Amino acid sequence: PLMMAYVTRYIYGTDKLRQNAFEVRGLNGITTGVIHCDELAILSQWLKLITDNVVGLTHLQMKLYNRNFAVGERIEYMGWVNEGVINNNISWQSYKPRFLLLKGTEVMLFETPPLNVTGISKALVVYKVYQTMFRIVKESETVDSRQHCFLLQSSGHEPRYLSVETRQELLRIENSWNAAIVTSVIKLGRKTFAVSHHGKSGGLTLDWQAGFSLTEGADSAIVWQYKFSQLRGSSDDGKSKLKLHFQDHDSRAIETKVGFTTN
């Protein structure tokens, strides 16, 4: 059955493509078959037909699951990814299939897809979306021959290096991630993060109604405050330092607030 099946051109566990062939694995990861084609054009046609069928069936299952959840708790995305795993016994990175869910304010990874609503609570890994960075890996930054890679990095955890089969699937995840961020912010309403700014302890607050604000000291005095519409960009070092770039309403100048270090 193709419901939540896994379609790949890669040889299992590696970054090596099969020669004019692809593999279809059942949702349990045990049932599998390799299909060989004489021509690349025929291979592409079969891949598209089967992948579109899998995506359609998986989306249908997602809609059925979502009947059980309130608006802010619904699943935005579910599908297969591959996680890069470093093994001390070998010099190269191997890959393990993971089933990815974006649900409400959480991102989840499973070894096999949940077969019912109860199974969703049995994830291998669960991160809060609003505490996790999603970043698409540039082609020049990939660690091996696998393409369409991205990073998930949550506070206090090692980053997870993941890949999907196509650029289209990667963009689907990115769009779903952005939707999950919006859902998270609306549901949270207000969240304050402990930070260090110019050597002083403070709190960086994201408020759905008010925007961004920085407070310092025991009395939580406001150092500055901006609306979400004033944010023009952000950057980070991939570890703990963050820069926020805001536009002043009066001068129209871009002001960079630097030196945030998350605790």
Q: What is the pLDDT of residues 121-136, one digit of tens each?
A: 999 999 999 889 999 9
Query: Burial level of 241, CB count in 10 A (0-12/13-18/19+)?
Result: middle
More confident residue, 207 or 91: 207
- Confidence (pLDDT) at 91: 60
More confident residue, 182 or 111: 111
**Predicted confidence (pLDDT) per residue in 192-234, tens digit:** 888 888 888 889 898 888 889 999 888 888 988 999 888 888 8
- The residues spanned by each domain of the chain are 6-188, 190-262
Residue partners of 42: CB distance under 8 A and separation at least 6: none
Residue partners of 54: CB distance under 8 A and separation at least 6: 2, 3, 4, 5, 7
Q: What percentage of residues in the chain have a pLDDT greater than 70?
A: 94
CB 261, CB 196: distance < 8 Å: yes
**What CATH fold (topology level) applies to the domain 190-262?**
PH-domain like (2.30.29)
Answer yes or no: same fold for 6-188 and 190-262. yes
Quickly state the pLDDT bin for 94 (edges 50, 70, 90): very high
How far is 76 from 254, CA to CA, in rounded Å?
A: 34
The CATH code of the domain at 6-188 is 2.30.29.30
pTM exceeding the 0.85 threshold for the entire prediction: no
Quickly state the pLDDT bin for 45 (edges 50, 70, 90): very high
- Confidence (pLDDT) at 258: 54
**Predicted confidence (pLDDT) per residue in 49-67, tens digit:** 999 999 999 999 999 999 9
Is the pLDDT at 235 greater than 90, yes or no? no
| Averaged pLDDT of the chain | 89
Is the pLDDT at 98 greater than 80, yes or no? yes
